Amino acid sequence: MEAAAENAVLVESLRAAVPLHMMQLASRSPEELIRIAAESATVVGSQGDVLQFRSTKRGETAKAFNALARGLAAAALVAWGGATFAGLHWCTIRHCPGPDAEHPEPTHGETHA
């Protein structure tokens, strides 16, 4: 999503918000994290344009932003290799340099959540 990577306010806001959501969601089960990520994707998919073109409706842009940050956090916690968006990467590997870094192979049925 090249346009998102060019939006400095969005990128810097996500840089702060996603780790906070990861801390809040860390104790959730993998099934719940998958559900949260899917719900967030639905919100972003239907209202994501307000992230680029601010909504005139009060709270709508914040709702879409929070859904994006929460969904990325949930995905980062449950997906092997983490989540990458707009040039940023989050995962459960401490100090992970990015999506192409070595990520330990999960054992059968295991996630990093």
Token representation of residue 50: 């307000």
Residue 110 has pLDDT above 60, yes or no: no
Interval 6-33 mean pLDDT: 94
Q: Give the chain's mean pLDDT.
A: 85
Q: Which residues 6+ apart lie within 8 Å of 67 measured at CB?
A: 39, 40, 43, 44, 47
- Output phi, psi for 97, to 5 deg: -80, -15
Residue range 78-93, pLDDT digits in tens? 988 889 999 899 988 7
Interval 89-98 mean pLDDT: 79
Burial class (CB within 10 angstroms; exposed 0-12, middle 13-18, buried 19+) of 93: middle
Q: How confident is the model at residue 109 (pLDDT cuts 50, 70, 90)?
A: low
| Lowest mean per-residue pLDDT among 4-8, 51-55, 76-80 | 4-8
Q: Which residues 6+ apart lie within 8 Å of 51 measured at CB?
A: 4, 7, 10, 44, 61, 64, 65, 68
pTM, two decimals, is 0.82
